[in-house]
Amino acid sequence: MMETKKRLVFAADHAGYLLKNALIAVFKERGYEITDVGVNSGESCDYPIYAEKACNLVVAGEADLAILCCGTGIGMSIAANKVKGIRAACCSDIFSAKYTRLHNDANALCLGARVVGEGLAEELATVFVETGYEGIDGGKHARRVGLITEIENKNK
């Protein structure tokens, strides 16, 4: 049985737009369905707007995962995690990119264009996209993600 490619949504601010474009090219070449919600220039902009646009598509089921790029990845991560249903992780190492999917069922990867180079960013995004969630059949990871959702629901 052939595995269906995940639908990816990309967003960036001015600091991350070149990295976003490079990653889009890689994943398009690999046959992924891509949505790009901006930005498309190096002109200064407000990253929360683009983080929200991308994350809303994930929450609505129109994309499976978001990849968000800004200068450090931190601003995008903070903004993304304000969207109910998003579990965003800012990663700059392979282990974290893998285990945030395996254990936390993260659905948004945040990358810092001023922190990681294009090659490492491609590796991080690849591991993130290609790694599944261990807790799909229950167990401790599903319980913990459930507890995160409970916190989110209590703090509307």
Question: Which active-site residues does the annotation give?
Answer: 70, 103
Query: Could you tell me how far CA 84 lies from the centroid of its own chain?
Result: 14
- Report the amino acid identity of residue 128: F
- CA dist 52 and 88 (Å) reads 12
**Residue 110: which residues within 8 A CB-CB, separation 6 or more?**
68, 69, 70, 73, 74, 76, 77, 80, 88, 89, 90, 91
